[in-house]
Amino acid sequence: MADLRSEFVGIKSPNPFWLASAPPTDKEYNVRRAYEAGWGGVVWKTLGEEGPPVVNVNGPRYGAIFGADRRLLGLNNIELITDRPLQQNLREIKAVKRDYPDRALIVSLMVPCEEDAWKAILPVVEETGADGIELNFGCPHGMAERGMGSAVGQVPEYIEMVTRWCKQNTRMPVIVKLTPNITDVRYPAQAAKRGGADAVSLINTINSITSVNLDNFAPEPTIDGKGSHGGYCGPAVKPIAMNMVAEIARSPETAGLPMSGIGGITTWRDAAEFMSLGCGNVQVCTAAMTYGFKVVQEMISGLGQWMDEKGHASIDDVVGRAVPNVRDWQHLNLNHVTKARISQDDCIKCGRCFAACEDTSHQAISMSADRVFEVMDDECVACNLCVNVCPVEGCITMETLEPGMVDERTGQVVSAEHGDWTTHPNNPSVVAAE
Amino acid sequence: MGNSPHTDGIVAGRISADAVADNFSDLHPPLDDHEALVAADRCYFCYDAPCQTACPTSIDIPLFIRQIATGTAESAAETIFEQNILGGMCARVCPTETLCEEVCVREVAEGKPVLIGQLQRYATDKVMAQGKHPFTRATATGKSVAVVGAGPAGLSAAHRLAMLGHEVEVYDARPKGGGLNEFGIAAYKSVDGFAQAEVDWLLQIGGIDMKYDQRLGEGLTLEYLQGRHDAVFLGVGLGGVNALRAEGEDKEGVRDAVDFIAELRQADDLTTLPVGRRVVVIGGGMTAIDAAVQSKMLGAQDVTVAYRRDKSAMGASEFEQVLATSHGVRIEFNAQPVRVLGNGKVTGVEFARTTSTGGELTPTGETFEIPADQVFKAIGQTLTTDAGLTVERGKIAVNETGRTSVLGIWAGGDCASGGDDLTVTAVAEGRDAAMDIHATLMGEGA
């Protein structure tokens, strides 16, 4: 069996699956149960400064988007940081860490943007024996209105400043959690790196309104007829998160900066994809909130099976493997030609490929009177839409034309040479350069 | 009463009232909201969908299922009723396994079709439970149409004609409407008085005058109707029953299956309905299965359906055959009745064993007896009156829009040529004839 042990910025855990800072990690009771279920680490739900804790709404905190059979695809929340007293959280963290020394325990923090506030909390956290801290610069609701959370994460200079304060005032590794509610994630990541962060974690939740109640015209979750934007997470946000991870991984300024991947990770496969894009480990929340702590067992067994099948001995063999293949569009090979192929043995004759191609794409699929659907190579631009709308996995595939073959659509012989936009005759920049 | 399934003769109360009630409860309990959403989610919204093509009334099935999936069952029902005003009954009685669900791409792919029939019931029940009628009548045309027969074909024609603005008078030989929906099909397919509720709901369109206890050929004549109305639609069904042409079929205990089913459907208390200890049903269609299964449900000990040809030729669908056998009915294939046995009262039936490979029915020379104290004949129905119209293979000859050999007279449903004796086909024929009547009448007026 592959070695799933993880060491992330010096923090060891038996597997790369951590629970993200969120309701599942709000107290000792849950965290003990999570460790017993097999989670490699936990990021304790965000602590605030000493004093009266924040309060939460007393109506619904969550809204959701569903797929077929009420499968939860996206979750939105308007919950704040921990609403329990600081000292109680610290006592519990210390007790849990003492009993589970082999598991990672990170403490998420959010205090006002003043150096004294950070100086006050860092020593008391360090005293618990926690393995590290994560700076919550991401929460998009409530706390941001008070100058914390994403209000900090949206200003790179603040990120750099607070990160530096933390690095100067603690020996613990500092992970900076990034908000996706920005225009270009590379700038906050660079700021974290300049401030001395050991790692970044991303993404935090996305500003969202999940639905509107059409009886009273109020956004949901609705509190006394009103609603606030909340933070969106779950499987629906995974593509957005992975792109942000990849942008940081392949940016020269931040390449090599350790990343903890967060965003809709539900299965071992999601985790492997994040790690291949450069994440040293992953954090999970919505999957646990949907299915309970036990889901980690499938993640552990699945990742191990896949690594064994592919011959990856350790986590390090996987991390970052996909990064070199993430490129700008202009470098994609325009001489690579594919055509859709419909397997008549697998086709169930629903006609969705035909409707999609005929109505919305390139009119490249024919339909016979007895419902045989075939691709017309002289029209097919290989857009892949038919593959994506076909309900039968593997029924429609893309076949690569070998060099020397003729693309019937263009009449051109397929070239063996790489040819992209940077050298294409239609590119005005190329002409200008000549 | 002390009777049991083992009591000899034709007696009532063989099983407890609770057991009867349980047996005659809904064959397919309705889907609840969540079940409907799960079932609707399975639809692929096929292009030019095979299910819609397979439906005799061409209901836009992918559209109505998508309307259910998006929480608008009322719109779904309207999609259904636009094509098939008896969509509620058809959802219950259609042999979906040989129509829409047979060609569902998920049946082809996985052997598990989308539950089209049950989803149709979900949508139509919802609207009918609200008492809402989704259609209104067009401006009055001043034309009047007679519809003879208040079964599926007649009701469908009457509704469409009324909707288009014509005045409609519906004549039926029975004291209430619904035709085979009310008197013919098995009770467990239409529980809680659904057939009558559907007639009442359909009549909400207005402009339809129901005239009961008026039988064509018995006082009511085509001449009278032609004189009184601008057009006539005949949906009289098949009132007669074929003879066995086997010796002894007049013995006590031998009966037409359709009469038994009609009596059962109209009974207030099924525990008072007598049934034999050993029942033999002769025939191979839906009526044979309905009579056999219901005999078993009333508490008969042994019930056998005897069919003269083999399984592949049987008119009853595979689903109906399995329904019968799962209720303990035995199906005897290649059994042709030779004579009904007994001295006054029936004691059994003698059969000749046949072979029917290649369609040719040949006796093998072997004979055998099945004991019985009750025999039901279910070997097909016949037209009772042709009203002077051209008849073709025992049915009133019609073209594709239901025109008969006489100008101004249309026909549809089981009495007319071209159909396949299904409720849904009768509905389609009634609707299409109504459209042709409308075009003809309005063409004249223009």
Say if residue B263 is in the same domain as residue B206.
no
Which CATH number do you get for residue B409? 3.50.50.60
Say if residue A298 is in the same domain as residue A342.
no
Say if residue B328 is in the same domain as residue B427.
no
Per-residue model confidence (pLDDT) at position A432: 54
Which A positions 276-315 lie with beta carbon below 8 A of chain B?
A: none
Per-residue model confidence (pLDDT) at position B121: 98
B250, two tokens = 């007049």
Q: Is B90 domain-assigned?
A: yes
DSSP bridge partners of B256: B377
Nearest CA in chain A to B42: A68
From B354, B377, B400, give the residue that closes a domain: B377
Per-residue model confidence (pLDDT) at position B444: 57
Q: Is A1 domain-assigned?
A: no
SS (H, E, C) chain B: CCCCCCCCCEECCCCCHHHHHHHCCCCCCCCCHHHHHHHHHCCCCCCCCHHHHHCCCCCCHHHHHHHHHCCCHHHHHHHHHHHCCCHHHHHHHCCHHHCHHHHCHHHHHHCCCCCHHHHHHHHHHHHHHCCCCCCCCCCCCCCEEEEECCCHHHHHHHHHHHHCCCEEEEECCCCCCCCHHHHCCCHHHCCCCHHHHHHHHHHCCCCEEEECCCEECEEECHHHHHHHCCEEEECCCCCEECCCCCECCCCECEEEHHHHHHHHHHCCCHHHCCEECEEEEECCCHHHHHHHHHHHHCCCCEEEEECCCCHHHCCCCHHHHHHHHHCCCEEECCEEEEEEECCCECCEEEEEEEECHHHCCEEEEEEEEEECCEEEECCCEECCCCCCCCEECCEECCCCCCECCCCCEEECHHHECCCCCCHHHHHHHHHHHHHHHHHHHHHHHC
A393, two tokens = 């996995």
Q: Is A361 domain-assigned?
A: yes
Residue-wise pLDDT tens digits, A31-45:
999 999 999 999 999
Candidates B33, B44, B107: best to mutate against A (most CBs of A within 10 A) is: B44
Say if residue A148 is in the same domain as residue A217.
yes
Say if residue A355 is in the same domain as residue A266.
no
Candidates B33, B38, B43, B105: best to mutate against A (most CBs of A within 10 A) is: B105
Instruction: For residue A200, give the nearest of A104, A291, A142, A134 by alpha carbon.
Output: A134
Assess contact for B371 and B347: CB atoms under 8 A: yes
The secondary structure of A101-123 as a DSSP string is TTSEEEEEE---SSHHHHHHHHH
Instruction: For residue A135, give the nearest of A89, A172, A85, A96 by alpha carbon.
Output: A172
SS (H, E, C) A233-271: ECHHHHHHHHHHHHHHHHCCCCCCCCEEEECCCCCHHHH
B433, two tokens = 């004839």
Chain B contact residues (CB < 8 Å to A): 37-38, 41-42, 44-50, 105-106, 108-109
Residue span of the structural domain in which B422 resides: 144-239+383-445
Q: Is B430 domain-assigned?
A: yes
Candidates A214, A348, A361, A388: best to mutate against B (most CBs of B within 10 A) is: A348
Q: Is B1 domain-assigned?
A: no
Q: Is B137 domain-assigned?
A: no
Say if residue B153 is in the same domain as residue B193.
yes
Nearest CA in chain B to A350: B46
Chain B residues with CB under 8 Å of A68 CB are 38, 41-42
The secondary structure of A162-202 as a DSSP string is HHHHHHHH-SS-EEEEPPS-SS-THHHHHHHHHTT-SEEEE
Residue span of the structural domain in which A102 resides: 6-325
Chain A residues with CB under 8 Å of B68 CB are none
Number of domains chain A is built from:
2
Say if residue A257 is in the same domain as residue A343.
no
ipTM of the complex as predicted: 0.81
Distance from CA of A303 to the nearest CA of B (A): 30
Say whether A352 and B45 touch across the interface (CB within 8 A).
Answer: yes
Which CATH number do you get for residue A103? 3.20.20.70
Per-residue model confidence (pLDDT) at position B445: 43
Q: Is A134 domain-assigned?
A: yes
Q: Is A82 domain-assigned?
A: yes
Say if residue B254 is in the same domain as residue B372.
yes
Say if residue B394 is in the same domain as residue B368.
no
Per-residue model confidence (pLDDT) at position A333: 97
Say if residue A240 is in the same domain as residue A315.
yes
Q: Which of B38, B41, B46 sits opposite A350 (nearest CB)?
A: B46
Per-residue pLDDT of chain B (446 residues; tens, 9 = 90+): 589 999 999 999 999 999 999 999 998 899 999 999 999 999 999 999 999 999 999 999 999 999 999 899 999 999 999 999 999 999 999 999 999 999 999 998 999 999 999 999 999 999 999 999 999 999 999 999 999 999 999 999 999 999 999 999 999 999 999 999 999 999 999 999 999 999 999 999 999 999 999 999 888 999 999 999 999 999 999 988 888 888 999 999 999 999 999 999 999 999 999 999 999 999 999 999 999 999 999 999 999 999 999 999 999 988 999 999 999 999 999 999 999 999 999 999 999 999 988 778 999 999 999 999 999 999 989 998 888 899 999 999 999 999 999 999 999 999 999 878 899 999 999 999 999 999 999 985 44
Rg of chain A in Å (alpha carbons): 25
Chain A residues with CB under 8 Å of B106 CB are 348
Which CATH number do you get for residue B61? 1.10.1060.10
Say if residue A321 is in the same domain as residue A356.
no
Residue-wise pLDDT tens digits, A179-227:
999 999 999 999 999 999 999 999 999 999 999 999 999 999 999 999 9
Q: Look at residue A306 and give its three-state secondary structure.
A: helix
Length of chain B measured in residues = 446
Say if residue B279 is in the same domain as residue B369.
yes
Q: Which of B38, B46, B109 sits opposite A351 (nearest CB)?
A: B46
Q: Is B295 domain-assigned?
A: yes
Q: Which of A69, A348, A354 sits opposite B109 (nearest CB)?
A: A348
Q: Is B5 domain-assigned?
A: no
Say if residue B254 is in the same domain as residue B341.
yes
DSSP strand pairing (B231-234 vs A396-400): unpaired
Number of domains chain B is built from:
3
Distance from CA of B68 to the nearest CA of A (A): 13
Say whether B44 and A391 touch across the interface (CB within 8 A).
Answer: yes
Taking the CA atoms of B289, B295, B301 and B304 in sequence, report the sign of the dihedral they define. Answer: negative
Say whether A68 and B41 touch across the interface (CB within 8 A).
Answer: yes
Nearest CA in chain A to B43: A350
Q: Percentage of chain A with pLDDT > 70?
A: 99
Say whether A392 and B109 touch across the interface (CB within 8 A).
Answer: yes
Say if residue B226 is in the same domain as residue B281.
no
Per-residue model confidence (pLDDT) at position A146: 84
Per-residue model confidence (pLDDT) at position B446: 40
Per-residue model confidence (pLDDT) at position B137: 97
Say whether B50 and A349 touch across the interface (CB within 8 A).
Answer: yes
Residue B407, judged by CB atoms within 10 A of its CB (0-12, 13-18, 19+), counts as exposed
Say if residue B222 is in the same domain as residue B197.
yes
A218, two tokens = 């109020």
Q: Is the pLDDT of residue A408 over 90?
A: yes
From B129, B160, B186, give the residue that closes a domain: B129
Distance from CA of B199 to the nearest CA of A (A): 34
DSSP bridge partners of B355: B362
Tell me if chain B has a CB within 8 Å of the CB of A326: no
Say whether A350 and B48 touch across the interface (CB within 8 A).
Answer: no
Distance from CA of A356 to the nearest CA of B (A): 9
Provide the number of CB pairs (under 8 Å) joining chain A to chain B. Answer: 35
Per-residue model confidence (pLDDT) at position A70: 86
Say whether B44 and A354 touch across the interface (CB within 8 A).
Answer: no
Q: Which of B37, B47, B106 sits opposite A351 (nearest CB)?
A: B47
Which A positions 28-87 lie with beta carbon below 8 A of chain B?
A: 68-70
> Which of the 8 DSSP states describes residue A134?
E
A142-151, A161-170, A280-289, B52-61: which range is least confident on average? A142-151
Say if residue A366 is in the same domain as residue A311.
no
Give the span between the Cα atoms of A142 and B366, in whole angstroms. Answer: 89
From A288, A309, A325, give the residue that closes a domain: A325
Say if residue A313 is in the same domain as residue A418.
no
Which CATH number do you get for residue A392? 3.30.70.20
Q: Is A16 domain-assigned?
A: yes
Which A positions 370-399 lie with beta carbon below 8 A of chain B?
A: 371, 391-392
Catalytic residue positions of A?
139
Taking the CA atoms of B226, B229, B234 and B235 in sequence, report the sign of the dihedral they define. Answer: negative
B190, two tokens = 């239409």
Q: Is the pLDDT of residue A433 over 90?
A: no
Q: Is B3 domain-assigned?
A: no
Say if residue B265 is in the same domain as residue B211.
no
Say whether B105 and A350 touch across the interface (CB within 8 A).
Answer: yes
Q: Is B434 domain-assigned?
A: yes
* Prior bond of A203 cis (ω within 30°): yes
Question: Hey, what's the torsion of the CAs at A346, A347, A350, A356, to 10 degrees?
Answer: 110
Residue-wise pLDDT tens digits, A59-79:
999 999 998 888 999 999 999
Per-residue model confidence (pLDDT) at position B206: 97
Say if residue B303 is in the same domain as residue B358.
yes
pLDDT averaged over chain A? 96
Say if residue A334 is in the same domain as residue A311.
no
Say if residue A312 is in the same domain as residue A339.
no
Say if residue B196 is in the same domain as residue B312.
no
Say whether B46 and A392 touch across the interface (CB within 8 A).
Answer: no
Say whether A349 and B44 touch across the interface (CB within 8 A).
Answer: no
Taking the CA atoms of A194, A195, A201 and A204 in sequence, report the sign of the dihedral they define. Answer: negative
Q: Is A396 domain-assigned?
A: yes
Residue-wise pLDDT tens digits, A121-132:
999 999 999 999
Chain B residues with CB under 8 Å of A355 CB are 47
Say whether A69 and B48 touch across the interface (CB within 8 A).
Answer: no
Rg of chain B in Å (alpha carbons): 23
Per-residue model confidence (pLDDT) at position A434: 47
Say whether B41 and A350 touch across the interface (CB within 8 A).
Answer: no
Per-residue model confidence (pLDDT) at position A291: 94
From A325, A352, A370, give the residue that closes a domain: A325
Q: Look at residue A18 and give its three-state secondary structure.
A: strand
Q: Which of A69, A348, A354 sits opposite B47 (nearest CB)?
A: A354
Distance from CA of B286 to the nearest CA of A (A): 31
From A272, A304, A325, give the residue that closes a domain: A325
Say whether A69 and B49 touch across the interface (CB within 8 A).
Answer: no
Say if residue A304 is in the same domain as residue A350.
no
Residue-wise pLDDT tens digits, A107-149:
999 999 999 999 999 999 999 999 999 999 987 777 888 888 8
Assess contact for A199 and A259: CB atoms under 8 A: yes
Say if residue A152 is in the same domain as residue A255.
yes
